[in-house]
Each structure stands twice: as structure tokens, then as C-alpha cells.
């Protein structure tokens, strides 16, 4: 019985120690490898663990895609319309 409790405590301790790395993995953070290395080598210090934890919430690849889409929309808005819309027939689609 005591060995089971000991294993649970060890599992929770390792999970808590690697929490910044787990957060970075689940969020898809671009700096995953940096968080992992900092967490492994300096996570034993409270300051290293806190820096890794904050860094794990950094920019994700999804954030970059959203920003790129916003940038493209802004450029399209600033350029204005690209001429009149194509003429269409009510039943047959575009008219040549």
C-alpha cells in the first residue's frame, strides 16, 4: 500500500516539475524546445520554473496564422475594390 502512495507522489512531483513543458506542448507554443530545455536544466530553481511556465504561454503557430489573416484583410481593405463585381446571370452564373 505504501509503495502505491509513493508512486503516486512521485508521479505528481514529476508532473508538477514538467508542467511548463506540458503546457507548451498542449498549446503548440513555438518555443517548445526552449521551454523544455529551461524546464529540465533550471526548473529545479523556482525562478527557472516560473520563467519556463510564463514562456509556455507564449505565441503559438495559430496566433501567427490569425495575425497573417488580419494583415491580409487590412491590405485588401486599404487597396480598395478591385473593379466592379463580375456580371452574373440570374440562372446561369457568370456572363462572359
Count of domains for the chain: 1
In a domain, 30, yes or no: yes
Q: What is the pTM of this model?
A: 0.62
**Is the separation of the CB atoms in 43 and 20 below 8 Å?**
yes
Q: What is the mean pLDDT of residues 32-59?
A: 93
In a domain, 79, yes or no: no
Q: What is the mean pLDDT of residues 53-82?
A: 76
pLDDT category of residue 84 using cuts at 50, 70 and 90: low
In a domain, 37, yes or no: yes
In a domain, 77, yes or no: no
Structural domain harbouring 40: 1-63
Residues 6 or more apart from 41 whose CB is under 8 A from it?
Answer: 48
In a domain, 17, yes or no: yes
The tally of CA atoms less than 13 A away on the side-chain side of residue 38 is: 20
**Is the separation of the CB atoms in 52 and 21 below 8 Å?**
yes
In a domain, 59, yes or no: yes
**Is the separation of the CB atoms in 32 and 25 below 8 Å?**
yes
Helix (H, G, I), strand (E, B) or coil at 94: strand
Amino acid at each position: 500500500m505504501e509503495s502505491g502512495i509513493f508512486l503516486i507522489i512521485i508521479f505528481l512531483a514529476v508532473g508538477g516539475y514538467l508542467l511548463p513543458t506540458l503546457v507548451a506542448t498542449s498549446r503548440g507554443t513555438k518555443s517548445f524546445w526552449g521551454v523544455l530545455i529551461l524546464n529540465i536544466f533550471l526548473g529545479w530553481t523556482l525562478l527557472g520554473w516560473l520563467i519556463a511556465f510564463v514562456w509556455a504561454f507564449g505565441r503559438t503557430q495559430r496566433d501567427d496564422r490569425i495575425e497573417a489573416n488580419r494583415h491580409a484583410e487590412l491590405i485588401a481593405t486599404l487597396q480598395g475594390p478591385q473593379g466592379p463585381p463580375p456580371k452574373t446571370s440570374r440562372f446561369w452564373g457568370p456572363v462572359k
